[in-house]
Amino acid sequence: MAAPRTLIRNAQVVTALSSERGDVLIQGERIVAAGAGLSAPGATIVDAAGLLLLPGLIDAHVHVREPGAVEKEDWTSATRAALAGGVTTIFDMPNNATPTVTAERVAEKLDIAARGAVCDYGVYLGATSKNVGLAARLGGEIAGLKIYLGSTTGPLLTDDWRLLYDHLRSTPEVIPVAVHAEDEQCLRAFQDTSASDHNRNRPPICAELAVHHVITAARAAGRGAHIAHASTAREVSLIQQARQEGIPMTCEVCPHHLFLTSEDALLLGGWGKVNPPLREPGEVQALWEQLACVDIVATDHAPHRSEEKDHAYEQAPSGFSGLETLLPLMFLAVREGRLSLQHLVRLTSTGPANLFHTHRKGRITPGYDADLVLVDPAATRVIRAGALQTKPNDTPFRGWHLPGRVIAVWRRGERVLTDGILTVEPGTGKPVALATL
Ligand code: NCD
Ligand code: ZN
Ligand code: ZN
């Protein structure tokens, strides 16, 4: 029997390069045609007039928490949150309670993901002093290598410049090396325990210094590196300068560093605590002005139990969920004229697909996976605690009225979300095909 077909008609089809009215034909798991006036006898027809069709989002920075802290999140809850937010692929970070730092831990995590995930996924290997060279041996098994230069949630810390160099040197260029770039020594030196202002405890200088060091190490190692959650304009301009010198550095920015400031953090208490910290309003404005030089937007979805985040600043853990607010926040930026739709797709889908060398993802092109999101740009939604898929079921954006309602999601050709209702079984997400060596 031929694979089922779906014809999405009259959508505004948005890609990294264009935004045109047209049709998209899905057969089985793939896109088989895209253009104007398509016909497909026997296909399920979806009338998408007035709606935007985007390639499914790819979030390169997610903390699923399983194995380990399943009370915070697990593979099913995290990937349900992803699909609800129009994210069809996630890459999971290695800072679990027992970190993902050996071949066995990677295999174990891939096994857990295979049983629980509802969207597609990849996992990072965490760098330690004992696993230099392992990323090269794991090849297509991992989405990337992650190096923590400063302390954050979890036990991973590699605050040794020789180790940073050795990891960069031994990891093939095709495997991205993502860095949590806050310098540990600098964090210790500037820590101001009397301040209940996270931005004063972990000031921008620690991030800028770490980025500077990573660029120096990358240059010496003869490859690039990816700076996770850049929170200041200076980090982005350092990366831009390095690129001009031929060092293939890349960077990501998170929505919370664009939409929240250190002033909001003071009001949000525990819910405003995140590493790197929310920055001063002038810094946030400067970061917006650097967006043209940013490669990807990722959430740093870092769930902690609501009860933990309800604590005062000093006691609360750092990080919060972001998968369900990513697309609406980026739509807010579009509505405010800060971003074009094409740029949105480049930052959240095509950009990460290119950076992580995924096969068949991040484009609306025949032969690619039919990972698609249908959005009503006019409909707004109020972000409410208790109405989310993520386990903490709350976010610092609670109460925000955001545009860009997700109407439908297709994951590899299967319609998995209709009007906010998910119809998926755990274990139906698949590992993404990544470039092998
Ligand atoms: C992350 C977490 O909780 O895993 N927290 C955070 O504040 N961003 C760790 C990290 O990304 O640094
Ligand atoms: Zn980090
Ligand atoms: Zn993170």
How many angstroms separate the alpha carbon of residue 378 from the centre of ligand 2? 34
Which residues lie at CB < 5 A from ion ligand 2? 152, 180
The whole-number pLDDT of residue 159 equals 84
Q: Which CATH superfamily is domain 56-355 in?
A: Metal-dependent hydrolases (3.20.20.140)
How many angstroms separate the alpha carbon of residue 95 from the centre of ligand 2? 9
Which ligand 1 atom is at minimum distance from the Cα of 152?
A: 12
Three-state SS for 144?
strand
40 burial class (0-12, 13-18, 19+ CB within 10 angstroms)? middle
Contact (Cβ atoms closer than 8 angstroms) between residue 254 and residue 208: no
Tell me if the bond preceding 67 is cis, omega within 30° of 0. Answer: yes
Which ligand 1 atom is at minimum distance from the Cα of 63?
A: 4
Q: Choose the residue to mutate in 151, 260, 275 for probing ligand 1, maximizing ligand atoms within 8 Å of C-beta.
A: 275
Distance between CA atoms of residues 76 and 362, nearest Å: 22
Pocket of ligand 1 (CB under 6 A): 63, 95, 152-154, 180, 274-275, 300, 302, 318-319
Domain ranges of the chain: 56-355
Which ligand 1 atom is at minimum distance from the Cα of 318?
A: 7
Which ligand 1 atom is at minimum distance from the Cα of 317?
A: 3
Distance between CA atoms of residues 78 and 436, nearest Å: 27
Distance between CA atoms of residues 4 and 26, nearest Å: 8
- For ligand 1, atom 11, the nearest C-alpha belongs to 300
How many angstroms separate the alpha carbon of residue 147 from the centre of ligand 2? 9
CA angle in degrees (0–180, nearest 5) for 41-44-46:
115
Type of residue found at 271: W
How many angstroms separate the alpha carbon of residue 374 from the centre of ligand 1? 30
CA angle in degrees (0–180, nearest 5) for 384-92-213:
110
Q: What is the pTM assigned to this prediction?
A: 0.98
What single DSSP character describes residue 341? H
Three-state SS for 354?
helix
Residues (pLDDT < 70) of the chain are: 1, 436-437
Residue 247 region by backbone torsions, left for phi larger than 0, else alpha for psi between -120 and 50, else beta: beta
Q: Judging by DSSP bridges, how do beta strands 226-227 and 177-180 pair with one another?
A: parallel
The whole-number pLDDT of residue 436 equals 62
Q: Is the dihedral of CA 28, 342, 408, 325 positive or negative?
A: positive
Tokens of 251: 């960077």
The whole-number pLDDT of residue 434 equals 87
Nearest to 347 by CA among 189, 181, 223, 236: 236
Which residues are part of the catalytic machinery?
300
The whole-number pLDDT of residue 172 equals 96
